[in-house]
Structure 1
């Protein structure tokens, strides 16, 4: 795993980097951007709910956006939660 923290642009990534047998691996696991008061989750390829963790830390759910879900389908998440 490789961690990339760009505090200047408020962009944070976790990548899988390496090899599996003879195949190179370069895959984004988590990508989070912070824009003003909003946390934008661009990618979450984990089993953990990043939103739950952020809410537990005191961040309002309204300030968290799941950009890996098409805008047309985000309303369904709000109804379900």
Structure 2
């Protein structure tokens, strides 16, 4: 189980780093990768100012809970779940936490 969790941690970090690199930073808005391995919480956030407006938001939020990966928030167009599956994490270990619990049972993913 622990080696599986470590494998998932590595996959999460790699995918989030790829998203951060793809989105990049500009002079006004920064994309920040937050990796809390102690609590198994992983976020990608953007912060800054653009044209006089405050920019702050969570783009991605993933938690490892027991042996499952819970996607708490997915602000991507394609869906990070697809990237996680392509990287080798089975759908049965991915929870779409941003979906209501009663809806999750109708997806191909774990319900918790």
Candidates 52, 61, 76, aligned match of 1:46:
76
For residue 56 of structure 2, what is the aligned residue in structure 1?
26
The residue that corresponds to 2:32 in the other structure is 2
Q: Distance in 2 between matches of 1:62 and 1:23?
A: 41
Q: CA RMSD in A?
A: 1.2
Between Structure 1 and Structure 2, the one with more strand by share is 1
Unaligned runs of 5+ in 2: 1-30
* Mapped partners of 2:102, 2:50: distance in 1: 36
**Does structure 1 residue 72 correspond to structure 2 residue 102?**
yes
Secondary structure at 1:13 match in 2: strand
More helix by share: 2
TM-score by length of 1: 0.86
TM-superposition CA deviations, 1:19-58 (whole Å, max 9, x none): 1211111100000001121000000101132112111121
* Partner-residue secondary structure (3-state), 1:43: strand
